Structure 1
Amino acid sequence: MQTTASPPGSGLLRRTRLRQFLRARREQITPEEVGLVNVERRRTPGLRREEVAALAGVGVSWYTWLEQGRDINVSEAIVNAVSNALRLGDTERTYFYRLAGHNPPQPTAGRRWDSEYARMNALVEGWSRNPAYITDRYGRIELASRSARSLFRIEARGDNCVLKFFTEPSTREKYPEADEVGRGLVAQFRSQSARFPEDREFGRIAERLSERSPRFATLWDCHEVVGPNQSRRKIALPRAGVRVFDRVVMSVPESPESLLTLYVARPEAPSAARPREAVGCHAEAA
């Protein structure tokens, strides 16, 4: 395989992220998950490089170069084959495609719109009286509603949501399922970094946060990714107790670098909930 003639340093950060992602995903898949018989004791977790290469139908040397971040030409067919071998989901596959220098494929169809209409209608109807905010590519607040500023203690434009969560105990205490929330924030931050693969500010923010928060460092090393999505989130309110919100994160058409986050409280009675600790990439979320 011939290496490309890119200028020195071109794409280096992108290939570094690609190397780290592929290795993390390979080490998190067991031989049994892909139908391989594990008859010997292994020194390292997960699959071996030669096993991934065999599953993807590519040469061992070639896959090794890919995982090492060599400056080689990677076809979409190979990216798709390796994605299948590593059992990547839609968001992980999109992340891989971008790091490999290709436009990602369209994600598989989700649930039908008619099954989501009622929830989306409630979201739109309740937006004016519920928290909503827009963040930039790094998770810094660009715009926030009054209820969002009050609930999440947003003091000024530029407050970083990821930084606040992992460095301010009072912020984490708002979430009975804090481990799940933290995991999602880090996965979304990493997914954003792939949209701007040569932007080194993501790495600088991650380095600073890793020094201040061991939990962030652990989750960052997991290389999990998640894109804009709809989810449920429990939040402890000062007077109403724990309430359940529908939360939607979407891209802003007029500003592709930004993400819009909307919350709508579900019409149900407050419920008591206690956080559960979880450690590591495979720990069960609350």
Structure 2
Amino acid sequence: MSRRARVTPAQAGLPDGGARRRTPGLRREEVAVLAGVGASWYQWLEQGRDISVSPQVLDAVARVLRLSDAERRHLYVLAGLNPPAPRADPAYEASGGEQLRRLIDTWMPYPAHIMDGYYNCVMYNHAAAMVLGMRPETTQNCILDFFTDPLYRARSVSWEQNAETVVAQFRSACSDCPDDAGFQEVVAELKQASPEFAELWERRDISAQGTIRKELEHPVAGLLVVESTAMKVPARPDLTVVLHTPLPEADTAAKLEWLASPEGRRGSMYPVAG
């Protein structure tokens, strides 16, 4: 009822006739007509009666009431149905990623990057370029680069033990969308490019995204030990933020701070091979 009260007839595409209404917003009968359901049935829905409700009808009601994605999912819960997968917030999308860019830039001097559901890299900060070797000439797909980028392979001391986890996490992401052509393309390209990936993929291991310990041998700073943490952004469920936190070993925090300093940037401008 509260959501119905905030939608004007004009917003719903109805003539208001210029007459004042006893209650603000749409009437029950108007919502029922616009959603394509019976007026009595819609009244029962508002009253919370024990009636049969389909996702299609709830989506129609959500559209008429101009519900946000969070409100739409809450409506499913109230109706006793499993809520649909979250959608990206249009207002957050309209910002052009400015909030996410601020997030990963504020994470400096530690590496951070953002990837979409297919592991395509959306953006990364300067520390990710210096430490992880992220750069425009790679495939810009995080799992493809993990297996095929010679610079990253040369730096990653923990590559072999991390490979199993990376593939298991990617298979978990694929399992959420088994018929998605985008995932199928990435898997096909990986199988062709990397026999190691193909072998690990056939193990059919599954692992949720979480933390991974990474040991990297940087050509200027030496050994770096970090922990990467993958996190979803509620307003952009299609994106994952990956933050790298220095671990106590090898004085990693101080080395990362030095690499981000003017002196460190000059020293890393022309690194030795690897």
> Which TM-score applies when normalising by structure 2?
0.50
- TM normalised by structure 1 equals 0.48
Larger radius of gyration: 2
